[in-house]
């Protein structure tokens, strides 16, 4: 009787070595089926330091050099928003599977070009919206689908924190896609689209920093039968960061930091509440990595969870909100 074959270890590269890349790398190195093989920054010293911290074999001072490394299976792109399309196309051109941070790109035209290139090259491409793969979020998706408390009547969700304005910071730099909408507003929008679908109508208002980047955005998604989603993003105040689903027979609440590892509180009508803990012990990026690794091993070129259709819907919604608040990059 033959022994079962072990899983192929996926050799990863990381392009862009900011804060989110560190969190991703911290989780990547905990996985037995993954290896951080190479990292790339425009600064050789930064690449060297990052590689040393996470035991990567190669440290490059250009994204092009990493993309041409034949030993790499997959690349995680964690550069500023405005570089996502360019960096993705570079990797796809070299036959590398790409997991690209959200937002996928700056608008639907860029996203379409990325998807077309992936299809032409027959290479795996996925938007890295990690929340979709977190166990607590998967639980809520199933609970809503199974209608444990009946139909959803209203969703309220927000993502906000205060940061002192700094025009030199990527977060506030409009030329890099900075501002509340693309950086954090995408999460409440994702929450509405993934649980309630595409709205019939959207209303949106925004406030702005002196450089023209949006400092906050308030949105209302209207659905049939008077169902709605009230969504908020802010870089000028701390908000609860919850996602609250008001249903016919109770409430399902994803607690603070709904987009990240957290707990879920169930509040059925006329009954005691229950809070579910999902036993997280990582930053949470390992779940999307495992999904992506499985896709790659099975020669898939598109995720069955974070599909191209959903990424297209997400960026189209972001584009529409931008037009409603007159935000131009």
CA 14/CA 37 separation, integer angstroms:
9
Tokens representing 193 are 């689209």
Specify whether 52 is located in the same domain as 175. no
Model pLDDT, residue 225: 86
Q: Is residue 319 in some structural domain?
A: no
* Sheet containing 264-268, strands listed edge to edge, beginning at the edge strand earlier in sequence: 201-208, 214-222, 228-234, 152-160, 243-247, 250-254, 264-268, 274-276
CA 233/CA 158 separation, integer angstroms:
6
Q: Is residue 74 in some structural domain?
A: yes
Specify whether 246 is located in the same domain as 117. no
Instruction: Tell me the CATH number at 80.
Output: 3.40.50.720
Q: Which of 131, 213, 126, 225 is nearest to 177 (CA)?
A: 213
Specify whether 26 is located in the same domain as 152. no
Q: Is residue 329 in some structural domain?
A: no
How many structural domains is the chain composed of?
Answer: 2
Specify whether 228 is located in the same domain as 156. yes
Q: Which of 277, 293, 312 is the last residue of a domain?
A: 277
Q: Is residue 320 in some structural domain?
A: no
| Single pTM value for the model | 0.96
| 214 within 8 A of 183, measured Cβ to Cβ | no
Specify whether 269 is located in the same domain as 152. yes
Specify whether 160 is located in the same domain as 54. no
CA 211/CA 324 separation, integer angstroms:
19
Specify whether 94 is located in the same domain as 162. no
Specify whether 242 is located in the same domain as 262. yes
CB within 8 Å of 273: residues ≥ 6 apart: 265, 266, 267
Q: How confident is the chain (329 residues) per 10-residue block, as mean pLDDT?
A: 64 98 98 97 98 98 98 98 98 98 98 98 98 98 98 98 90 92 97 98 97 97 95 97 98 98 95 95 98 98 98 98 95
Model pLDDT, residue 1: 41
The rounded Cα 323 to chain-centroid distance in angstroms is 22
Domain containing residue 118: 10-129+285-303
Specify whether 258 is located in the same domain as 150. yes
Specify whether 107 is located in the same domain as 149. no
Q: Is residue 317 in some structural domain?
A: no
CA 124/CA 129 separation, integer angstroms:
15
Specify whether 73 is located in the same domain as 150. no
Beta bridge partners of 212: none
Specify whether 183 is located in the same domain as 117. no
Instruction: Tell me the CATH number at 260.
Output: 3.30.360.10
């Amino acid at each position: 009787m033959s022994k079962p074959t072990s899983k192929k270890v996926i050799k990863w590269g990381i392009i862009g070595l900011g804060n989110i890349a560190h969190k991703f790398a911290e989780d990547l190195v905990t996985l037995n089926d993954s290896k951080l093989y190479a990292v790339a920054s425009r600064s050789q010293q930064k690449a060297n330091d990052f590689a040393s911290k996470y035991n990567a074999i190669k440290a490059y001072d250009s994204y092009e050099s990493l993309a041409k490394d034949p030993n790499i299976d997959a690349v995680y792109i964690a550069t500023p928003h405005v570089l996502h399309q360019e960096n993705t196309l570079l990797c796809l051109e070299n036959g590398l599977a790409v997991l690209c941070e959200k937002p996928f790109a700056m608008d639907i035209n860029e996203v379409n070009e990325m998807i077309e290139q992936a299809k032409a090259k027959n290479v795996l491409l996925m938007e890295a919206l990690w929340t979709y793969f977190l166990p607590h979020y998967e639980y809520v998706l199933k609970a809503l689908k199974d209608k444990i408390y009946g139909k959803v009547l209203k969703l309220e969700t927000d993502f906000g924190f205060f940061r002192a304005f700094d025009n030199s910071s990527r977060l506030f730099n409009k030329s890099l896609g900075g501002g509340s909408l693309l950086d954090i507003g995408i999460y409440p929008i994702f929450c509405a689209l993934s649980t309630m679908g595409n709205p019939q109508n959207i209303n949106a208002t925004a406030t702005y920093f002196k450089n023209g980047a949006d400092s906050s955005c308030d949105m209302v998604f209207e659905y049939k039968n008077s169902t709605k989603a009230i969504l908020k993003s802010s870089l000028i105040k701390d908000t609860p960061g919850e996602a609250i689903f008001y249903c016919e027979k109770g409430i399902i609440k994803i607690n603070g930091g709904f987009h990240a590892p957290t707990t879920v509180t169930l509040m059925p009508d006329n009954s005691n509440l229950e809070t579910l803990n999902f036993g997280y012990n990582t930053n949470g990026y390992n779940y999307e990595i495992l999904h992506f690794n499985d896709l790659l091993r099975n020669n898939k070129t598109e995720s069955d969870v974070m599909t191209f259709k959903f990424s297209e819907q997400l960026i189209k919604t972001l584009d529409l909100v931008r037009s409603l608040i007159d935000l131009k990059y």
